[in-house]
Amino acid sequence: MADVRSTKLKFKGDKTKKKRKREDGEGGSSSRRRRTDADDQGDETWVQPSQPAEIRGPTFIYHPSDPAPISVNFDATRNRIMLLPLADAGADDLLARTPGDIAQVWVTTRVSGATTVNLRTGTGEGKFLSCDKHGLVSADREARGPQEEWTPVVLADGMVAFMSVYEKYLAVDEVAGGQLQLRGDSETVGFAERFYVKVQSKYKREAHEEEKKKEGKLAEPSMDEANTNKIYQAWGAGKSVVSGVDSKDLKRARKEGRLAEKLLDQRSKLKSDRFC
């Protein structure tokens, strides 16, 4: 019997993550099962982004064209973008489709804090997807500029529209002979402008971790000296000893970025006066 090889697309440098075995049996908590399922999902599992910030790293872009869905490919040999039917298009659910060839994968990068992204080919020399003012879409530039910037818009149904720097949308267009090509001059978002996008789960988690770090930034130092002293004073027999410093001085110190230093100086002075 021939060995069955996995068709999951992997990239150089990615580590293979082993699945964790279930040890809690049927009686395990639902939260524990969800965590286990998340671990079993694997870093390379292809998932849909729920917000623009999650679109990063290896990216699979395809369109629900009729009669068969098509993927946005890059032909490195001919150095051009190709819209090709997905293999076995009717074999499974459209939402479950994943790339089967490196030519179907683009690499999404972004400048930290920016709302725009760059789409680079995952094969060949790495060219950026660009759109000029006439709506002509190509992938023949090795450097990024304004024409290589795209703003992803995640729609209510989970599909994604890509807006160029000219505030026009990327779309699938039918040309002479029934061939399909990409255009970037659509004014509105309709069927032709809506794409399914898949990213690898580890990059989606990375976006969530960055968001948590932003939300977890330290708040401004508290000016409630009495409560702060109750927590941190190790002297005064349990009494909260506060300074007589004017609140205006504290506000001025906070604006100047030296509130903590001001409070520390006042506590040191009080402690010195008490034990002298």
Highest average pLDDT, of 60-69, 123-132, 164-173, comes from 164-173
Question: Does residue 229 sit in the same domain as residue 184?
Answer: no
Question: Does residue 175 sit in the same domain as residue 45?
Answer: yes
Predicted local confidence at residue 227, as pLDDT: 61
- What SS3 state is found at 255? helix
Question: Does residue 205 sit in the same domain as residue 269?
Answer: no
Question: Does residue 38 sit in the same domain as residue 115?
Answer: yes
Question: Does residue 275 sit in the same domain as residue 197?
Answer: no
pLDDT, mean of residues 158-181: 94
Domain that holds residue 229: 225-234+250-276
Question: Does residue 201 sit in the same domain as residue 230?
Answer: no
pLDDT, mean of residues 86-111: 85
Using pLDDT thresholds of 50, 70 and 90, give the confidence band for residue 209: confident
Q: Give a yes or no: residue 69 inside a domain.
A: yes
- What SS3 state is found at 40? helix
Lowest-pLDDT range, 51-60, 65-74, 125-134, 209-218?
209-218
Question: Does residue 67 sit in the same domain as residue 111?
Answer: yes
| Percentage above 70 pLDDT, the chain | 67
Q: d(Cα 207, Cα 173) in Å, to the nearest integer?
A: 32
Q: Give a yes or no: residue 169 inside a domain.
A: yes
Using pLDDT thresholds of 50, 70 and 90, give the confidence band for residue 226: low
Q: d(Cα 255, Cα 262) in Å, to the nearest integer?
A: 12
Q: Give a yes or no: residue 204 inside a domain.
A: yes
Question: Does residue 203 sit in the same domain as residue 78?
Answer: yes
Predicted local confidence at residue 26, as pLDDT: 47
Q: Give a yes or no: residue 183 inside a domain.
A: yes
- Residue 98: exposure state from Cβ atoms within 10 A (0-12, 13-18, ≥19): middle
Tell me the torsion sign for CA atoms 211, 217, 219, 220. negative
Question: Does residue 179 sit in the same domain as residue 263?
Answer: no
Q: Measured at the alpha carbon of residue 260, what is the angle toward residues 258 and 262, in degrees to the nearest 5? A: 70
Q: Give a yes or no: residue 46 inside a domain.
A: yes
**CATH code for the domain of 195:** 2.80.10.50
Q: Give a yes or no: residue 16 inside a domain.
A: no
- The pLDDT of residue 58 is above 80: yes
* Number of separate domains in the chain: 2
The number of C-alpha atoms within 13 Å of 235 and in the hemisphere containing its C-beta is 9
pLDDT tens, residue by residue, 32-47: 444 444 444 688 899 9
**CA-based nearest residue to 198, from 8, 4, 28, 27:** 8
**What's phi and psi for 78, nearest 5 deg?**
-95, 0
Strand 118-121 and strand 196-200: the pairing is unpaired
Helix or strand run (H / E) with residue 219: none
Using pLDDT thresholds of 50, 70 and 90, give the confidence band for residue 31: very low
Question: Does residue 196 sit in the same domain as residue 96?
Answer: yes
Predicted local confidence at residue 160, as pLDDT: 98
Q: Give a yes or no: residue 133 inside a domain.
A: yes
Question: Does residue 82 sit in the same domain as residue 125?
Answer: yes
Q: Give a yes or no: residue 142 inside a domain.
A: yes
Question: Does residue 193 sit in the same domain as residue 262?
Answer: no
